[in-house]
Structure 1
Amino acid sequence: MPSMELIAFFSFLAVAVAQHVKVEPAVFGYVGNQVVLRCQFVDPDSNIEVTQVTWVKDPSGAKQNLAVHNPQYGTNYPVDTNQRIHFRNASLTDASLVIDRLLMTDDGIYSCEFATYPEGNQEAATNLTVLAEPRISGNPMPVNSGKSPVPVASCIAADGKPPASIIWRGTVPGNTTMELTQNADGTTTVTSQYQAVPSSELDGMTLECVVTHRTLERPDVINIALTIRYPPIVTIEGYDDNWYLDREHASLTCNVKANPAVTSYRWYMNGGDLPSEVRAMGHQLTVDQVTYQVNGTFSCEASNILGKTKDSINIFVREHKAAVTSNAGAIAGGVIGGILALLLLACLAGFLLQRRRRGGEAAGSYDPKTRVFGDGNGAARADFTYRPDSDSEKGPSLEPTTPTTTVNAAAEMENLLQSPAPMDNYYQDEEEEEDEKVPISSDPTTEDDMESQRDGSIISKKAVYV
C-alpha cells in the first residue's frame, strides 16, 4: 500500500505543477465492484493544445501504461486486462478511466498525463484503495473440563482490507488473544480466540463475537454457545422421608447432567442387586409395594465416554405413614394472629385516648359546691357528685346517690360545713334552708339502720332504692 508521504507528494504535483489537470486524490473501491478514476483537462482560455492522454499505474516505480488515447492513432490498451479497464468516454478533455470487477491487485497509484503544446506534459495522480469485505465466522472450540485456561471459542475475519477489528462480549470469565496474518493479495486475516477455565458450568453459555470493518454498515455479531465436555454429575431425587409399609409406587429419579450424553444407567442397593420389589428402567427406579426389604441405601451410577459417577441415598421404611404437616396452616395462623394483635393495639389506643378526653372534660367542669338534696317534701333526688376520694380518682365518675333519710342529709351538710372559709356562708344558707324542709330524726332505730360509706355519707340498710 502506498505511503501517506507518497500520496501527499503526488497530490502536491497535481496542484502545483499541473493546474490544468483535475483528479480525485483518493478513490476507494470494493473487490468485485466497479470504480471510476475521474480526470479532466481544464483550459478556460483555450491557449493550450492537447495532443495525447495517457493513464499510467505506479508512476514512481515499475511504470506501466494502461490506456492511451491519440486523436490521430486512436485508443490503445497496452496491458491485456480482459477489457476490465477502459476509457469512459475517450477525449482530449475528459480522460476518466473505468475499472470493472476490481481485484486486489488493482490497488495502487494511477497518474493521468496530458501531452500539450506549448507547455509540455501535465499530470495528476489518484490513489486507488481497494477494500475487501472480510469473511466472518465464529465457532466454539469443544474442550474437556479442566483447571487451566484454554481456548473455548474462535472468531475469524478473513481476507479483509483493511484488517477487521474483533471484540468479545459476554459474562464468561476469561481473556482474549489476537493474531493477524498478511495474505499475498494484500488482504489480512484476523483471528481472535477466547480463553477460559473449562468447567461444566460454562457448557452452553453464550459469547458474542463482534466484528467491525470499513466495508460493513454496522458491526457483525456472532453468537457462540460454548461446548465443554465433562463426566456425569448425578443427584437422586424423589425420596420424601415417608416410605411406609405397603405404600405403593414409591419412586426415585436419577437426575444427570453430562456432555456428551449419558450412555448407561445402573441402580443397585447396598452395593448389590436390587430386591424383587424394585424395578429399574433407565434413570427411573420404582418400588411397587414398600416392604422392609427396601430399607437401605440405593445408588445410581451414570456413564458417558468421559467416565462414570454415582450418587447414593438412604431409605428408611416406616411402620406407619408419617403425619404430613403443612406450612399453610402455620402461615395462616401467623397472619390471623398478626391481624388480631393489630386490632387489639388499635382498641387499646382508642380506649386510652377516650379515657384521657373524659378526664379532661371532667376536670374542667368540676364544681365542689354542687350538691343535690331532697326536694323539700322528703322525696329522694339523685345526686351526681364528683367524688375525689372514691375508687374513680383516675377519671370523672357520675354516681347516682339517693338520700333516703334526714340523717343522710344532715351528714352531707356536716361535711360541707367543713369546707374552706370563703364557702361557709353559701353552705350555711344551704344547710338552714334544708333544715327547714326536712326535720332530723332522732329515732334510735333509725340510727341502727344507718351504714357509713367511703365518701363520708351514711345510708339506710333497709331502704329500697329506685
Structure 2
Amino acid sequence: MTEDETRLPCQFQVQENEQVVQVSWIKELPDGTKEHIITAHRTEGHTEFGRYSGRVRFESSRSMVNSALLILTTEESDEGKYICHISTFPYGNFERKLSLTVWTFPISSLDPVVLEEGQSFHVAASCRSVARPPPRLTWDTDLPGQAQNRSSEGGAVSTHFSLHPLRSMNGMRLDCLVWHPALEQPRRISNRLVVQFPPDASVTGFDGNWYMGLKEAELRCESGGNPKPKNFTWTRDGKALPDGLTVDGARLLFGRALRRNDTGVYECVVNNGVGTRKVKCNITVTETSRSVQEVIFDTLVMIIIAVAAGVLVIVMIIVIILVNRYHRRKNSKLEMELSKRM
C-alpha cells in the first residue's frame, strides 16, 4: 500500500566454508535497464543510491544474514521487479527476483444533482473513485432508476444513477458504495436525493367569527414545496391592502381593531423559484361576535317561549271559565225542568 512500509524478503543460506561478501538490491526497469537501490559490503559498509537515499534500509543490522529490504514510505513508482543480488566467497554470485505490486487507497467523491419534478429521465448523482487496482462502485438505494458504469485508464471508475424525478422521492437515500481489496468493508458515501417542486398553499386563521373591534387578527399562508417558499404577496379584492395591515413573511397582520370594511377576498401568492401558487380566502366582518349574537338569539327565544306560555295560560283560564259557565247553565236548566214536573 502507498505510504505504508514495504518489506522485500531475501535470505541466503551459506554453505560450509562460504561467506557472504556483498548484498545488493537492484530494480529492473521496464526498458530492461537496472537501477541500484542499496548495497551492503562486509568491510565497506552500506551505500544508498539516488532517489532511494533515505527511503530504504536493510531490515537487520546483520544484512549479510538477513538481507530483507524495507521501503519506508512506499510510492506508486516503486511498483516493479526487484533483484536481490548476493556475492559470496568462494562460490560467486546468486540472485532472486521479486515482483512488487503497489495498491492505493480509493480517493472517492459523489456529485449530487438537484432535480425538478416533471423533468425527463435525468442523472440524479455521479460517483467517482480512483485507486490501484481499480475499485468497484455500486448504489445503495430504494429509488427506481438505472446505473451506468464507466472506467478509464489509471484506475479511475465512475457510475451515474438516473431516474424520473418525483416529489415523493425527495429526501430518499442514494448512497454510493466503494468496494476495494484494501478496504475491510465498502466505503459508504452518504447522499439524499433532492427533488424540487412547486408549493402548495392554503390560508388559515379565519374561524368565521371576525367582528368589528376584534384585535390581533391575522391570516397565515401555509405552504409546502421544495425549496421552502420565502416570497409571499398579499392583496385584497385584487388591490393593495388597506391601511393598518402589514405582511410578515407568510403572515398578514391586522395591526388595529377590525372594521366592517375589512370584509373582502384576500389572496396570497406564494413563489419558491420553481413555481407559483395562488389561494383565496373570503373574509366577512360582522357587527358583533358570534357569542353576542347567540346570547341575543337565546334571549329572544326565551322571550318568545315566555310569551307563548303566558298566552297558553290565559287561554286555559278562559276555557276553564267558559266550561264552568256552561255547566252552571246546564244545571240551572235541569233544575227548572224538575221543578215544573213536580
- Give the TM interval when normalised to the shorter protein: 0.5 to 0.7
**Inter-partner Cα distance in structure 2 for 1:307 and 1:91:** 76
Contact 1:138 1:153 in 2 (8 A): yes
Contact 2:140 2:176 in 1 (8 A): yes
Report the secondary structure of 2:105's partner residue: coil
1:234 to 184, 188, 201: 201
1:109 to 66, 78, 81: 81
AA aligned to 2:279 is D
> Is the counterpart of residue 309 in structure 1 residue 280 in structure 2?
no
Distance 1:277 1:100, change over 3 A: closer
**Inter-partner Cα distance in structure 1 for 2:63 and 2:190:** 54
Match of 1:39 in 2: 10
Distance 1:71 1:271, change over 3 A: same
How big is the alpha-carbon RMSD for the aligned residues of Structure 1 and Structure 2?
Answer: 3.5
**Inter-partner Cα distance in structure 1 for 2:203 and 2:69:** 77
Report the secondary structure of 1:105's partner residue: helix
**Inter-partner Cα distance in structure 2 for 1:171 and 1:312:** 39
Alpha-carbon distance, 1:67 to partner: 2.7
AA aligned to 1:123 is E
Matches within 5 A, 1:246-257: 246=212, 248=214, 251-257=218-224
AA aligned to 2:162 is Q
Alpha-carbon distance, 1:124 to partner: 2.4
1:99 to 71, 81, 87: 71
**Inter-partner Cα distance in structure 1 for 2:234 and 2:241:** 7
Alpha-carbon distance, 1:117 to partner: 6.1
> Is the counterpart of residue 170 in structure 1 residue 137 in structure 2?
no
Alpha-carbon distance, 1:304 to partner: 3.8
AA aligned to 2:271 is S
AA aligned to 2:182 is T
**Inter-partner Cα distance in structure 1 for 2:179 and 2:132:** 12
> Is the counterpart of residue 86 in structure 1 residue 61 in structure 2?
no
Match of 2:124 in 1: 152
* Per-residue CA distance 1:38-72 (angstroms, 9 max, x = gap): 100124x5265544433222378333332333436
Give the TM-score normalised by structure 2: 0.68
**Inter-partner Cα distance in structure 2 for 1:84 and 1:67:** 10
Distance 1:36 1:281, change over 3 A: closer
1:196 to 163, 166, 171: 163
**Inter-partner Cα distance in structure 1 for 2:158 and 2:213:** 63
- For structure 1, the residue ranges without an aligned partner over 5 or more in a row are 1-29, 323-466
* Per-residue CA distance 1:159-211 (angstroms, 9 max, x = gap): x222223322233332323333433xxxx233333323334444444432222
Contact 1:33 1:102 in 2 (8 A): yes
Matches within 5 A, 1:220-369: 220-240=187-207, 242-243=208-209, 245-246=211-212, 248=214, 251-274=218-241, 280-286=247-253, 288-289=257-258, 291=260, 294-295=263-264, 297-314=265-282, 321=290
Report the secondary structure of 1:224's partner residue: coil
Contact 1:250 1:290 in 2 (8 A): no
* Per-residue CA distance 1:353-381 (angstroms, 9 max, x = gap): xxxxxxxxxxxxxxxxxxxxxxxxxxxxx
Contact 2:212 2:285 in 1 (8 A): no
Distance 1:231 1:129, change over 3 A: same
**Inter-partner Cα distance in structure 1 for 2:162 and 2:16:** 69
Contact 1:275 1:294 in 2 (8 A): no
Give the TM-score normalised by structure 1: 0.52
Match of 1:210 in 2: 177
Match of 1:179 in 2: 150
Alpha-carbon distance, 1:231 to partner: 4.1
> Is the counterpart of residue 54 in structure 1 residue 24 in structure 2?
yes
Contact 1:243 1:290 in 2 (8 A): no
Which structure's relative contact order is higher, taking Cα pairs within 8 Å and 6+ residues apart?
2
Report the secondary structure of 2:224's partner residue: strand
**Inter-partner Cα distance in structure 1 for 2:279 and 2:53:** 73
Q: Which has the higher strand share?
A: 2
Distance 1:80 1:280, change over 3 A: closer
* Per-residue CA distance 1:79-137 (angstroms, 9 max, x = gap): 44232123333643322112122111001221223345676543322222222112233
Number of residue pairs the alignment of both structures matches: 285
Matches within 5 A, 1:396-407: none
Contact 2:269 2:277 in 1 (8 A): yes
Contact 2:230 2:249 in 1 (8 A): no
- For structure 2, the residue ranges without an aligned partner over 5 or more in a row are 292-342
AA aligned to 1:114 is I
Contact 1:244 1:290 in 2 (8 A): no
Contact 1:113 1:122 in 2 (8 A): yes
Matches within 5 A, 1:17-28: none
**Inter-partner Cα distance in structure 2 for 1:271 and 1:102:** 75
Distance 1:206 1:294, change over 3 A: farther
* Per-residue CA distance 1:9-49 (angstroms, 9 max, x = gap): xxxxxxxxxxxxxxxxxxxxx21222221100124x52655
AA aligned to 1:197 is H
User: Kindly, what percent of the aligned residue pairs are identical?
Assistant: 28
Report the secondary structure of 2:119's partner residue: coil
**Inter-partner Cα distance in structure 2 for 1:237 and 1:196:** 37
